[in-house]
Amino acid sequence: MSKRKPKLAPRNGHVAAMRQKSGGAHGKTKKAQRQADRMQLKRSIRDIQTSDDAAVLLSVSCV
- Answer whether residue 63 shows pLDDT above 60: no
Distance separating alpha carbons of residues 15 and 11, to the nearest angstrom: 8
- Alpha-carbon span 52 to 44, nearest angstrom: 12
Is the confidence at residue 51, as pLDDT, over 70?
yes
Query: In whole angstroms, what is the distance from residue 28 CA to residue 39 CA?
Result: 15
Query: What's the CA gap between 42 and 36, in Å, rounded?
Result: 10
| Residue 57 predicted with pLDDT over 80 | no
Query: Is the Cβ–Cβ distance between 27 and 19 less than 8 Å?
Result: no
pLDDT digits (tens, 9 = 90+) for 4-27: 888 887 788 888 888 887 777 788
Spatial contact of 18 and 10, defined as CB atoms under 8 Å apart: no
This prediction has a pTM of 0.47
